[in-house]
C-alpha cells in the first residue's frame, strides 16, 4: 500500500460513502467519478459559474484513500450480494437489478455498480484542477487507486495550463507513470486579449508550454475551445489565435464547447453593461468555420461532443476530415434564414440531432407547428425563446 502518512490505508470498516464534485467532461459520462480536490483554485473566469461561492480545498492523501477504500468496499459488497444470489460473485444483470430495485442502496453505491457492470474501466478525477496537488501526493493517490480498484483502463483529469506550465516535465512523467492517462485543459481561447478579458489567468504562450509538456510526458491531451468567447468585438482574433496556439500544440483532441451566459456569471453582467456583445448562433458558426479552416499541420481529432453544440457533425480527424467539417458548416450557412431558424429551434429544444432531421416530414411538421405556437403564445420573440431553450440546462 502507498497511502497515508504511515504508509498504510486508513478507514477499514468505514461506511461505503465517498465524495463527488458537480461536473465532469461530456466524454466522461460513463466514468467512475472520484474527487481529489474540491472546487476550483482559480475560480475567476468570467464565463464560468460552476464553482462560484464554493471555496477551494485540497483533500489530504488520507481522505482520498478513504474514498478509494469506500469504492473497494462497495465492489466487495457487490461480490457478496452476487454470491448470496447464486451468481458466483460476478456482477451480472440480476445482481444489478437487485441493487436498483431493493431500495436499500445509495446513489453512490449504484454509481459504482453501474460502472463495474459496464466494464468501461474509465475513471475521472474531480474537480477543476487536480494538477494543483503535488506530484508526489497525486502519484501516490493514483497508485493506490489502481491497487485497490481492479479493471481500471484509463484515468483522466482536468488541469489548468498555468498550473501545468509550472510543473516540471519529470513531475508530469511521475504522474503519468502512476496512472494518469489523459488531461482535459480548458484552453477556451488562444488570444491573449480574450484570455485577459475573460480572466482565464493564463496566456497563449502558457497554453502552448503546458500542452506540449502534457504530450511530451506521454499523456493524451484534450483542449476545450469555446467559440464566441471573444464576443463580436474579438471574434476574428479569437478564431485565428486559438487556431495558431492549437497548431503549435497538436493536441490529441480539440473539443468544441458552447458558450452560454447565465445570469450568475460575471460575463452576464458585462453583457448587460454593454461591454460584451454576444455572437448570434449564425455568427458563432461563421467563427467556427474560420477557426477550423485555420487549423493546419496537426493531427488532432475535432470533437463536437457538448450536447448544446449547434452542429454536432463538425467532428473528425485532421487533416483528412477538414473539408468534410467545413462542408457541414457551409451546408448550414447555405440554408435560407427560415430554415436555419427552424433547425436552431429543433436543436436547442433537443428535438433534432443534425440537419438531415429537417428532411423527416413528421418531425418537420411538428417543429413548424411548435414555431407557430411559440410565436402566438409567448410575449417574447422567437429568437428569445431559442436562447432560453439553449440556456435551460446551464
Ligand atoms: S479554471 Fe475552469 S472551473 Fe475554474 S473558473 Fe475557470 S473555467 Fe471555471
Is it the case that residue 93 has pLDDT exceeding 90? yes
Which carries the bigger pLDDT value, residue 2 or residue 286?
A: 286
Residue 132 CB less than 6 A away from ligand 1: no
Q: Which atom of ligand 1 is nearest to the CA of 128?
A: 3
Each residue's pLDDT tens digit, 38-61: 999 999 999 999 998 899 999 999
Each residue's pLDDT tens digit, 63-89: 999 999 999 999 999 999 999 999 999
Average pLDDT over residues 198-216: 98
Q: Is the peptide bond before 76 cis (omega within 30 degrees of 0)?
A: no
Neighbours of 324 (CB within 10 A): 13
User: Which pLDDT value is given to residue 393?
Assistant: 67
- DSSP string across 72-113: HHHHHHHHHHHHHTTSTT---HHHHHHHHHSS-S-HHHHHHH
Q: Where are the domains of the chain?
A: 1-155, 159-334, 338-394
Report how far ligand 1's centroid is from the alpha carbon of 128 (Å).
Answer: 7
Q: Which atom of ligand 1 is nearest to the CA of 50?
A: 8
Q: How far apart are CA 337 and CA 357, in angstroms?
A: 17
Residue of 22, 43, 165, 200 with the most ligand 1 atoms within 8 Å of its CB, for mutation: 43
Q: How far apart are CA 193 and CA 241, in angstroms?
A: 10
Which carries the bigger pLDDT value, residue 15 or residue 261?
A: 261
User: Which pLDDT value is given to residue 9?
Assistant: 40
User: Which pLDDT value is given to residue 376?
Assistant: 81
Residue 47 CB less than 6 A away from ligand 1: no
Which stretches of 226-313 are assigned E, i.e. beta strand? 253-256, 301-303
CA 267 to chain centre: 20
Are 242 and 189 in contact by the 8 Å Cβ rule? The answer is: yes
Residue 194 CB less than 6 A away from ligand 1: no
Q: How far apart are CA 242 and CA 302, in angstroms?
A: 14
Residue 38 CB less than 6 A away from ligand 1: no
Each residue's pLDDT tens digit, 298-347: 999 999 988 889 999 999 999 999 999 999 999 999 999 999 999 999 99
The contacts of residue 197 (CB under 8 Å, 6+ apart) are 46, 230, 234, 276
Query: Which of these, 189, 187, 146, lies nearest to 165 by C-alpha position?
Result: 187
Q: Considering just the CA atoms, what is the radius of gyration of the chain in Å? A: 23
User: Which pLDDT value is given to residue 394?
Assistant: 67
Report how far ligand 1's centroid is from the alpha carbon of 57 (Å).
Answer: 14
User: Which pLDDT value is given to residue 5?
Assistant: 45
pTM of the complete model: 0.92
Are 212 and 167 in contact by the 8 Å Cβ rule? The answer is: no
Q: Taking all residues of the chain, what is their mean pLDDT, rounded to a whole number?
A: 93
Per-residue pLDDT band for 12 (boundaries 50, 70, 90) equals very low
Is it the case that residue 379 has pLDDT exceeding 70? no
Are 205 and 249 in contact by the 8 Å Cβ rule? The answer is: no
Q: Which atom of ligand 1 is nearest to the CA of 160?
A: 1
User: Which pLDDT value is given to residue 389?
Assistant: 81
Fold classification of 159-334 (topology level): TIM Barrel (3.20.20)
Question: Which position has the grid cell 467532428?
Answer: 315
Residue 51 CB less than 6 A away from ligand 1: yes
User: Which pLDDT value is given to residue 139?
Assistant: 98
Q: Calculate what percentage of the chain has a pLDDT beyond 70.
A: 95
Are 36 and 126 in contact by the 8 Å Cβ rule? The answer is: yes
Residue 186 CB less than 6 A away from ligand 1: yes
Residue 45 CB less than 6 A away from ligand 1: yes
Are 178 and 139 in contact by the 8 Å Cβ rule? The answer is: yes
Is it the case that residue 351 has pLDDT exceeding 60? yes
The residue whose C-alpha atom lies closest to atom 8 belonging to ligand 1 is 48
Of the listed ranges 14-23, 53-62, 154-163, 239-248, the one predicted with least confidence:
14-23
Residue 50 CB less than 6 A away from ligand 1: yes
User: Which pLDDT value is given to residue 362?
Assistant: 94
Output the CA–CA distances (angstroms, integers) from residue 217 to 78, 221, 298, 376, in the order listed. Answer: 37, 10, 18, 58
The contacts of residue 235 (CB under 8 Å, 6+ apart) are 228, 279, 283, 287
Per-residue pLDDT band for 142 (boundaries 50, 70, 90) equals very high
Report how far ligand 1's centroid is from the alpha carbon of 45 (Å).
Answer: 6
The residue whose C-alpha atom lies closest to atom 2 belonging to ligand 1 is 128
- Cα angle: 35, vertex 154, 25; to 5 degrees: 55
Which carries the bigger pLDDT value, residue 381 or residue 208?
A: 208
Per-residue pLDDT band for 199 (boundaries 50, 70, 90) equals very high
Amino acid at each position: 500500500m502507498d497511502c497515508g502518512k504511515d504508509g498504510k490505508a486508513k478507514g477499514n470498516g468505514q461506511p461505503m460513502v465517498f465524495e463527488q464534485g458537480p461536473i465532469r467532461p461530456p466524454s466522461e459520462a460513463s466514468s467512475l467519478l472520484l474527487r481529489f480536490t474540491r472546487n476550483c483554485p482559480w475560480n475567476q473566469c468570467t464565463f464560468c459559474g460552476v464553482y462560484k461561492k464554493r471555496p477551494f480545498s485540497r483533500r489530504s492523501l488520507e481522505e482520498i484513500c478513504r474514498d478509494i477504500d469506500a469504492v473497494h468496499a462497495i465492489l466487495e459488497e457487490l461480490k457478496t450480494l452476487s454470491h448470496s444470489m447464486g451468481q458466483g460473485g460476478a456482477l451480472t444483470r440480476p445482481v444489478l437489478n437487485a441493487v436498483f430495485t431493493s431500495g436499500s442502496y445509495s446513489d453512490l453505491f449504484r454509481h459504482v455498480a453501474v460502472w463495474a457492470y459496464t466494464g468501461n474501466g474509465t475513471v475521472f478525477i474531480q474537480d477543476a484542477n487536480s494538477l494543483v496537488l503535488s506530484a508526489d501526493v497525486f502519484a501516490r493517490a493514483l497508485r493506490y487507486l489502481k491497487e485497490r480498484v481492479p479493471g481500471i483502463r484509463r484515468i483522466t483529469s482536468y488541469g489548468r495550463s498555468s498550473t501545468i506550465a509550472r510543473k516540471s516535465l519529470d513531475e508530469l512523467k511521475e504522474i503519468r507513470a502512476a496512472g494518469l492517462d489523459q488531461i482535459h485543459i480548458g484552453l477556451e481561447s488562444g488570444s491573449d486579449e480574450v484570455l485577459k478579458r475573460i480572466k482565464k489567468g493564463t496566456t497563449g504562450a502558457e497554453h502552448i508550454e503546458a500542452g506540449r509538456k502534457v504530450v511530451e510526458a506521454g499523456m493524451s491531451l484534450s483542449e476545450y475551445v469555446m467559440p464566441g468567447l471573444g464576443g463580436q468585438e474579438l471574434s476574428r482574433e479569437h478564431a485565428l489565435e486559438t487556431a495558431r496556439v492549437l497548431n503549435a500544440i497538436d493536441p490529441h483532441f480539440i473539443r468544441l464547447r458552447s458558450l452560454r451566459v447565465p445570469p450568475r456569471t460575471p460575463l452576464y453582467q458585462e453583457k448587460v453593461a454593454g461591454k460584451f456583445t454576444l455572437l448570434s448562433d449564425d455568427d458563432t458558426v461563421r467563427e467556427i468555420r474560420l477557426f477550423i479552416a485555420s487549423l493546419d499541420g496537426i493531427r488532432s481529432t475535432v470533437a463536437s461532443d457538448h450536447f448544446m453544440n449547434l452542429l454536432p457533425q463538425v467532428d473528425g480527424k485532421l487533416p483528412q476530415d477538414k473539408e468534410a467539417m467545413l462542408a457541414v458548416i457551409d451546408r448550414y450557412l447555405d440554408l435560407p434564414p427560415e430554415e436555419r431558424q427552424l433547425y436552431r429551434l429543433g436543436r436547442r429544444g433537443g428535438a433534432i440531432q443534425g440537419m438531415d432531421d429537417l428532411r423527416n416530414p413528421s418531425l418537420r411538421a411538428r417543429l413548424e407547428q411548435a414555431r407557430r405556437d411559440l410565436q402566438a403564445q409567448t410575449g417574447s420573440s422567437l429568437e428569445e425563446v431559442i436562447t432560453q431553450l439553449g440556456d435551460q440546462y446551464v
